[in-house]
């Protein structure tokens, strides 16, 4: 059904493998969190290391009192947990 009736579970982590021409031997990594509704403990336990690009909302958008997008403090938290190198704001957060 979707929020607020169920928990969102659609964050994505994508990484390149076997990249021999990079300085550190690792490929580019991307974390996409369209609602910035994430499990901090699970992210810390996954030990994803440095993330090259994170796409997430920067502002919180609410419908009545329910947060549809969790930017702001939650956005800052996901960026610090994942050691984000570059941030690309989710364009839907601005509408």
> For residues 81 and 58, what is the distance between their CA atoms, to the nearest angstrom?
15
pTM of the entire predicted model:
0.75
What is the rounded CA–CA span in Å between residue 21 and residue 87?
Answer: 24
DSSP letter for 59, please: S
Distance separating alpha carbons of residues 55 and 84, to the nearest angstrom: 10
For residue range 7-57, what is the model confidence (pLDDT) as tens digits? 666 788 888 876 666 666 678 889 988 888 888 888 888 887 788 999 988
Residue 33's pLDDT is what? Answer: 86
Domain spans in the chain, listed from the N-terminal domain onward: 9-67
For residue 28, what are the CA distances in angstroms to 7, 25, 35? 29, 10, 22
Rounded to whole angstroms, how far apart are CA atoms 5 and 28?
35
């Amino acid at each position: 059904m979707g929020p607020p009736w169920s928990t969102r579970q659609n964050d994505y982590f994508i990484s390149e493998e076997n990249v021999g021409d990079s300085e550190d031997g690792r490929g580019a990594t991307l974390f996409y969190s369209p609602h910035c509704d994430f499990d901090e403990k699970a992210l810390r336990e996954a030990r994803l290391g440095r993330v090259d690009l994170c796409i997430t909302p920067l502002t919180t958008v609410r419908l009545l009192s329910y947060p549809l997008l969790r930017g702001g403090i939650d956005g800052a938290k996901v960026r610090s947990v994942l050691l984000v190198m570059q941030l690309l704001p989710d364009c839907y957060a601005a509408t």
